[in-house]
Amino acid sequence: MFWRCFLLPVEVKREAVLQRQSEEINDKLENVKVVILGAGGLGSNAAHMLARLGVGSLIIYDFDIVEPSNLNRQHYGVSDIGKMKAETTAERIKELLPYVDIEPRNELVDENVLSSVYEEGDIFIEAFDTVSSKVMAYDFFAGREKPYICTTGVAGPSGELSRRDLGHIHVVGDFQGEDRNDCYIPKVMAIAAMECSVVLELILKKEY
Protein backbone atom coordinates (compact mmCIF):
# COMPACT_ATOMS: atom_id res chain seq x y z
CA MET A 1 0.00 0.00 0.00
CA PHE A 2 2.55 2.54 -1.21
CA TRP A 3 -0.05 5.31 -1.39
CA ARG A 4 -0.56 5.25 2.38
CA CYS A 5 2.81 6.96 2.86
CA PHE A 6 1.28 10.14 1.42
CA LEU A 7 -1.86 10.27 3.55
CA LEU A 8 -2.22 13.41 5.63
CA PRO A 9 -2.86 13.12 9.39
CA VAL A 10 -6.54 12.76 10.17
CA GLU A 11 -8.12 14.89 12.88
CA VAL A 12 -10.39 12.69 14.97
CA LYS A 13 -12.75 14.38 17.38
CA ARG A 14 -13.83 13.08 20.77
CA GLU A 15 -17.41 12.67 19.59
CA ALA A 16 -16.33 10.33 16.80
CA VAL A 17 -14.24 8.13 19.09
CA LEU A 18 -17.00 7.84 21.69
CA GLN A 19 -19.96 7.39 19.33
CA ARG A 20 -20.53 3.80 20.55
CA GLN A 21 -21.15 5.17 24.05
CA SER A 22 -24.17 7.07 25.33
CA GLU A 23 -24.00 10.78 24.55
CA GLU A 24 -25.44 11.53 27.99
CA ILE A 25 -22.73 9.48 29.68
CA ASN A 26 -20.03 11.06 27.50
CA ASP A 27 -21.14 14.50 28.65
CA LYS A 28 -20.84 13.43 32.28
CA LEU A 29 -17.40 11.94 31.74
CA GLU A 30 -16.11 15.09 30.08
CA ASN A 31 -16.63 17.19 33.20
CA VAL A 32 -14.59 15.02 35.58
CA LYS A 33 -10.91 15.18 36.53
CA VAL A 34 -9.29 11.96 37.78
CA VAL A 35 -5.94 11.92 39.56
CA ILE A 36 -3.90 8.71 39.14
CA LEU A 37 -1.28 8.14 41.81
CA GLY A 38 1.33 6.05 40.03
CA ALA A 39 2.10 5.09 36.42
CA GLY A 40 3.20 1.48 36.81
CA GLY A 41 1.17 -1.64 36.12
CA LEU A 42 -2.05 -0.28 37.56
CA GLY A 43 -1.62 3.39 36.75
CA SER A 44 -0.38 3.22 33.16
CA ASN A 45 -3.13 0.80 32.19
CA ALA A 46 -5.80 2.72 34.10
CA ALA A 47 -4.74 5.96 32.41
CA HIS A 48 -5.19 4.43 28.95
CA MET A 49 -8.58 2.99 29.91
CA LEU A 50 -9.87 6.27 31.34
CA ALA A 51 -8.62 8.20 28.31
CA ARG A 52 -10.46 5.81 25.96
CA LEU A 53 -13.50 5.94 28.22
CA GLY A 54 -13.69 9.69 27.72
CA VAL A 55 -12.80 11.09 31.14
CA GLY A 56 -12.34 14.81 30.61
CA SER A 57 -9.06 15.43 32.43
CA LEU A 58 -6.33 13.26 33.89
CA ILE A 59 -3.41 14.04 36.18
CA ILE A 60 -0.88 11.23 36.53
CA TYR A 61 1.95 11.05 39.06
CA ASP A 62 5.11 8.99 39.07
CA PHE A 63 8.75 9.75 39.90
CA ASP A 64 10.21 6.59 38.34
CA ILE A 65 11.63 5.62 34.96
CA VAL A 66 10.69 2.69 32.71
CA GLU A 67 12.82 -0.43 33.22
CA PRO A 68 12.92 -3.74 31.31
CA SER A 69 11.18 -5.54 34.19
CA ASN A 70 8.16 -3.26 33.73
CA LEU A 71 7.37 -4.43 30.21
CA ASN A 72 5.52 -7.63 31.19
CA ARG A 73 2.58 -5.72 32.66
CA GLN A 74 2.95 -1.97 32.18
CA HIS A 75 1.84 0.07 29.15
CA TYR A 76 5.36 0.66 27.78
CA GLY A 77 7.69 -0.69 25.12
CA VAL A 78 11.42 -1.21 24.66
CA SER A 79 11.79 2.29 23.19
CA ASP A 80 10.48 3.76 26.45
CA ILE A 81 13.20 2.29 28.68
CA GLY A 82 14.91 5.04 30.65
CA LYS A 83 12.08 7.54 30.16
CA MET A 84 9.94 9.01 32.92
CA LYS A 85 6.79 6.93 33.37
CA ALA A 86 4.31 9.77 33.88
CA GLU A 87 5.57 11.73 30.87
CA THR A 88 5.69 8.64 28.66
CA THR A 89 2.15 7.64 29.58
CA ALA A 90 0.90 11.11 28.74
CA GLU A 91 2.80 11.17 25.43
CA ARG A 92 1.48 7.76 24.37
CA ILE A 93 -2.10 8.73 25.18
CA LYS A 94 -1.77 12.02 23.29
CA GLU A 95 -0.45 10.10 20.28
CA LEU A 96 -3.48 7.80 20.36
CA LEU A 97 -6.10 10.40 21.31
CA PRO A 98 -4.76 13.95 20.82
CA TYR A 99 -7.84 15.60 22.32
CA VAL A 100 -7.28 14.05 25.77
CA ASP A 101 -6.38 16.53 28.53
CA ILE A 102 -3.65 14.75 30.51
CA GLU A 103 -0.99 16.29 32.73
CA PRO A 104 2.04 14.25 33.84
CA ARG A 105 3.79 15.13 37.08
CA ASN A 106 7.20 13.60 37.73
CA GLU A 107 6.93 13.63 41.49
CA LEU A 108 7.13 11.21 44.37
CA VAL A 109 3.70 11.28 45.99
CA ASP A 110 3.72 12.09 49.70
CA GLU A 111 1.23 13.75 52.02
CA ASN A 112 2.29 17.22 50.90
CA VAL A 113 1.66 16.33 47.26
CA LEU A 114 -1.73 14.86 48.14
CA SER A 115 -2.64 18.01 50.03
CA SER A 116 -1.72 20.20 47.05
CA VAL A 117 -3.57 18.13 44.44
CA TYR A 118 -6.64 17.35 46.54
CA GLU A 119 -8.56 20.44 45.45
CA GLU A 120 -7.75 19.81 41.78
CA GLY A 121 -9.20 16.34 41.40
CA ASP A 122 -12.70 14.92 41.62
CA ILE A 123 -11.79 11.24 41.96
CA PHE A 124 -8.47 9.68 42.99
CA ILE A 125 -7.00 6.32 41.96
CA GLU A 126 -4.22 4.65 43.91
CA ALA A 127 -1.63 2.80 41.81
CA PHE A 128 1.33 2.48 44.16
CA ASP A 129 3.89 -0.32 44.33
CA THR A 130 4.77 -0.09 48.01
CA VAL A 131 2.70 -0.84 51.09
CA SER A 132 4.02 2.27 52.84
CA SER A 133 2.70 4.53 50.07
CA LYS A 134 -0.65 2.72 50.10
CA VAL A 135 -0.99 3.19 53.87
CA MET A 136 0.05 6.84 53.67
CA ALA A 137 -2.53 7.63 51.00
CA TYR A 138 -5.28 5.60 52.66
CA ASP A 139 -4.78 7.49 55.92
CA PHE A 140 -4.86 10.79 54.03
CA PHE A 141 -8.13 10.10 52.22
CA ALA A 142 -9.78 8.42 55.20
CA GLY A 143 -9.99 11.83 56.84
CA ARG A 144 -11.49 13.51 53.79
CA GLU A 145 -14.58 13.21 51.60
CA LYS A 146 -13.61 12.86 47.94
CA PRO A 147 -13.80 9.39 46.35
CA TYR A 148 -10.64 7.32 46.65
CA ILE A 149 -10.17 4.02 44.84
CA CYS A 150 -7.36 1.80 46.10
CA THR A 151 -6.08 -1.75 45.80
CA THR A 152 -4.83 -4.65 47.87
CA GLY A 153 -3.52 -8.02 46.77
CA VAL A 154 -2.28 -7.16 43.27
CA ALA A 155 0.71 -9.52 43.24
CA GLY A 156 0.63 -13.19 42.35
CA PRO A 157 -0.64 -15.02 39.27
CA SER A 158 -4.19 -15.54 40.48
CA GLY A 159 -6.73 -14.74 43.17
CA GLU A 160 -10.43 -14.15 43.51
CA LEU A 161 -10.94 -10.45 42.91
CA SER A 162 -13.59 -8.51 44.78
CA ARG A 163 -14.53 -5.04 45.96
CA ARG A 164 -15.30 -3.48 49.30
CA ASP A 165 -16.91 -0.06 49.72
CA LEU A 166 -16.04 1.84 52.88
CA GLY A 167 -18.00 5.04 52.47
CA HIS A 168 -16.11 7.21 49.99
CA ILE A 169 -13.20 4.73 49.88
CA HIS A 170 -13.45 1.81 47.47
CA VAL A 171 -10.99 -1.09 47.67
CA VAL A 172 -10.43 -3.68 44.91
CA GLY A 173 -8.12 -6.69 44.68
CA ASP A 174 -7.88 -10.21 46.07
CA PHE A 175 -7.37 -9.01 49.67
CA GLN A 176 -4.58 -11.52 50.25
CA GLY A 177 -1.98 -9.01 51.35
CA GLU A 178 1.14 -7.69 49.67
CA ASP A 179 3.73 -10.22 50.86
CA ARG A 180 5.07 -11.10 47.38
CA ASN A 181 6.37 -9.13 44.43
CA ASP A 182 5.74 -11.31 41.37
CA CYS A 183 3.15 -9.65 39.10
CA TYR A 184 1.26 -10.92 36.05
CA ILE A 185 -0.55 -8.87 33.45
CA PRO A 186 -3.96 -10.63 33.48
CA LYS A 187 -4.44 -9.94 37.18
CA VAL A 188 -2.87 -6.45 37.09
CA MET A 189 -5.04 -5.33 34.18
CA ALA A 190 -8.14 -6.88 35.71
CA ILE A 191 -7.62 -4.85 38.90
CA ALA A 192 -6.87 -1.68 36.92
CA ALA A 193 -10.12 -2.27 35.00
CA MET A 194 -11.98 -2.70 38.29
CA GLU A 195 -10.67 0.68 39.45
CA CYS A 196 -11.85 2.27 36.21
CA SER A 197 -15.25 0.59 36.55
CA VAL A 198 -15.62 2.20 39.96
CA VAL A 199 -14.74 5.57 38.43
CA LEU A 200 -17.48 5.15 35.83
CA GLU A 201 -19.99 4.06 38.46
CA LEU A 202 -19.21 7.06 40.67
CA ILE A 203 -19.59 9.44 37.73
CA LEU A 204 -22.94 7.96 36.70
CA LYS A 205 -24.19 8.21 40.28
CA LYS A 206 -22.64 11.69 40.70
CA GLU A 207 -20.86 10.50 43.83
CA TYR A 208 -17.89 12.85 43.55
Whether residue 8 is predicted with pLDDT greater than 80 in this model: the reply is: no
The amino acid sitting at 158 is S
Structural domain containing residue 167: 22-205
Q: Edge-to-edge strands of the sheet including 33-37?
A: 101-105, 57-61, 33-37, 123-126, 148-152, 169-173, 162-166
The answer to whether residue 7 sits within a structural domain is no
* C-beta of residue 100 within 8 angstroms of C-beta of residue 91: no
The answer to whether residue 8 sits within a structural domain is no
The residues facing 65 across adjacent strands are 84
How confident is the model at residue 12, as a pLDDT? 86
Domain tally for the chain?
A: 1
The answer to whether residue 1 sits within a structural domain is no
What is the domain-level CATH number for residue 37? 3.40.50.720
How confident is the model at residue 2, as a pLDDT? 47
Mean pLDDT of the chain: 94
